[in-house]
Amino acid sequence: MTQIKNFDRGALGIFASYYKPHWKLFAADMVCASFIAGVDVAFPMMTKFTIEKFLPGGLFRGFFVMAAFMVFLYILRMGFTWFVTYWGHTVGAYIEADMRRDLFSHLQQLSFSFYDTNRTGQIMSRVTTDLFEVTELSHHGPEDLFISILTLIGSFILILFIRWEMALIFIIVLPLMLLHILHSRSSMMKASRKVKERTAEINADLESSISGARTAKAFTNELYEKKKFHGGNENFKSAKKKYYFSMATFNSRLEFLTHILNVVVIAAGGFFILRGRMTLSELITCNLFAAAFLAPIRRLQNFVEQYTTGMAGFGRFLEIMKMKPDILDTPGAVNLEHVAGDIAYRNVTFAYNNNITVLRNISLDIPAGSVCALVGPSGGGKTSLCHLLPRFYDIREGSITIDGVDIRNINLESLRRSIGIVQQDVFLFAGTIRENIEYGRIGAADEEIIEAAQRAEIHEDILRMSDGYDTIVGERGITLSGGQKQRISIARIFLKNPPILILDEATSALDSATESRIQESLEELSRGRTTLVIAHRLSTVRNAGNIIVIDDVGIRETGRHEELLARGGMYADLYKAQFAG
């Protein structure tokens, strides 16, 4: 179940909030991590104790008991390491899945304007690729940070008890390492973000090229597509090289500092031994602590790499999550029930995001149960006028009402459930015919699906297919003819059974014979519903109760077919142009 989160907070606060549903597993992971850190810190002291207490006096029994105890501790450590590796990564996968769930849910809420300006491949990259590294960060990040802090503090305190001078060496070197880590983080973050942007561009190009493969072959433009992809791939390679350059610089400098620390510890220890201020066992212990001290530094090194890649992806995730949907339910929005279908546009003005006004001061009445046809030249705003009714976009000025209720005061789900749309470019999901028809009303019984198919006059065609209603239609219904796809989309609307219908050039892509047969299905579908028909072929709207002639200036004419022909205006000119032969 999606949790409501406050995405106006800082990135780290939002990131931390995703641990809340899994806090028990996360807490167990941290307990195991603390035991691992404890064993790593205790080993040098146990070694010192063994060398100083058991070996000089030949206490073999105590020596072997201590050795057995160390083996026991490392067996436990192995078990805790298994828990941290398995369940820690599982928590990371849970968090990644939760983020992907929230992102997908949010994408469902975003308006048409978002999809108008964002490529499908780039959106897919946000949902998939950008969140891959989040699993590693959400698991290893807190664990590495926690173990590193415990180990560093524990090691420093114990070294302080052995020789304060050696502890001072660690105190001097540690800030240099931490400063280097912090300094490198921002450059690596920028480089990682650029890699993700380039990956998104490649995904977008891939999606576009694969979807348009048939067009590319038809125009013999395969070489052009290869060159275009090669350019994007080179940009990705360049961004990746810059990231690896930053990472190599970071790692090599940190490796130098860590190895220098070993040299300094040996040199300082040797000096203290020569002066008689330190024993050999203390030097061995300090050297073991240096190794224990360097382990968390390397963990921090890994953490920085994971943080840069993980947070770069998380930052792009937040960019989407912080986008507010353009169209939301207003406070107190009502459900649309017992819809008659009386529609009224009053002084409606509308412009897209580029602020080019498409509709200006449009007023229109569509009585319940009537058929209203919208005709006119392309770009006149016919489709825009219809898309305003289900609030795919919001008007700038004026009002649109259904049964006297302003659509902005109607619950969005209720509003769109009351409107069915059949478009020229039919979209079918890459599933079965049954699933595509059932999309009109999820959970419908088989009998209802078959009845809808019969009313759309596609039932007999389906029975002749290899697997009947379980036939796979392929990507975007590629295995079906244009007429079959259109009939399945009509069956889907029959199943939905909305009181208001929009037919957006539903037959313009079909041949005349197929159009004639489907027109009968559309007339059956329109019966008893308030219907808006967008048409370029005027033969399909002769029987409409009212025909609206619209262009980029506005509504030019209204009336029935015979009236408009007799008037000799724009409609008559359009009709003559189509039927001049």
Calculate mean pLDDT across residues 374-399. 87
- Amino acid at position 65, single letter: V
Structure tokens, 531: 């219907």
DSSP three-state, residue 154: helix
Calculate mean pLDDT across residues 481-489. 82
Instruction: Identify the pLDDT of residue 510.
Output: 60
DSSP annotation string for 400-461: EEETTEEGGGB-HHHHHHTEEEEESS----SSBHHHHHHTTSTT--HHHHHHHHHHTT-HHH
Question: Which domains, ranges and CATH numbers included, belong to the chain?
Answer: 11-321 (1.20.1560.10), 343-578 (3.40.50.300)
Mean pLDDT check: name the lowest of 205-209, 367-371, 416-420.
205-209
Checking if the pLDDT of 315 tops 60, the result is: yes
Higher model confidence: residue 167 or residue 491?
491
- The CA-based dihedral angle spanning residues 505, 501, 453, 456, taken in that order and rounded to the nearest 10 degrees: -50
Instruction: Identify the pLDDT of residue 3.
Output: 46
Checking if the pLDDT of 478 tops 80, the result is: no
211 within 8 A of 331, measured Cβ to Cβ: no
**Bridge partners for 420 per DSSP:** 501
102 within 8 A of 317, measured Cβ to Cβ: no
Instruction: Identify the pLDDT of residue 218.
Output: 57
Mean pLDDT check: name the lowest of 188-197, 321-330, 536-545.
188-197
pLDDT tens for 298-309 read 777 777 777 777
Instruction: Give the Å distances, CA to CA, from 540 to 144, 153, 513, 546.
Output: 69, 81, 13, 13
Checking if the pLDDT of 214 tops 70, the result is: no
546 contact partners, CB below 8 Å, separation of at least 6: 366, 370, 371, 372, 373, 558, 559, 560
Q: What percent of the chain has pLDDT over 90?
A: 4
Calculate mean pLDDT across residues 382-405. 89
421 contact partners, CB below 8 Å, separation of at least 6: 386, 390, 493, 501, 502, 504
pLDDT tens for 10-45 read 778 888 888 888 889 888 988 888 888 888 777 777
pLDDT tens for 280-299 read 777 777 776 666 666 777 77
pLDDT tens for 77-136 read 888 888 888 888 788 888 888 888 888 888 888 877 777 777 777 777 777 777 777 777
pLDDT tens for 524-547 read 778 888 989 888 777 777 778 888
**Bridge partners for 401 per DSSP:** 344, 406
Question: SS3 string of 114-152?
Answer: HHHHCCHHHHHHHHCHHHHHHHHHHHHHHHHHHHHHHHH
pTM, two decimals, is 0.69
Calculate mean pLDDT across residues 48-66. 75
Res. 568 pLDDT band, cuts 50 70 90? confident
248 within 8 A of 301, measured Cβ to Cβ: no
Mean pLDDT check: name the lowest of 291-295, 388-392, 550-554.
291-295
Rounded-to-integer distance, Cα 236 and Cα 204, Å: 13
Checking if the pLDDT of 160 tops 70, the result is: yes
Instruction: Provide the total of helices (H) and of strands (E) in the chain, helices listed first.
Output: 19, 10
Instruction: Identify the pLDDT of residue 216.
Output: 63
Checking if the pLDDT of 208 tops 70, the result is: no
E strands, 201-286, in order: none
Higher model confidence: residue 502 or residue 476?
502
533 within 8 A of 376, measured Cβ to Cβ: no
- DSSP single-letter state for residue 506: T
Instruction: Identify the pLDDT of residue 137.
Output: 80
Higher model confidence: residue 118 or residue 322?
322
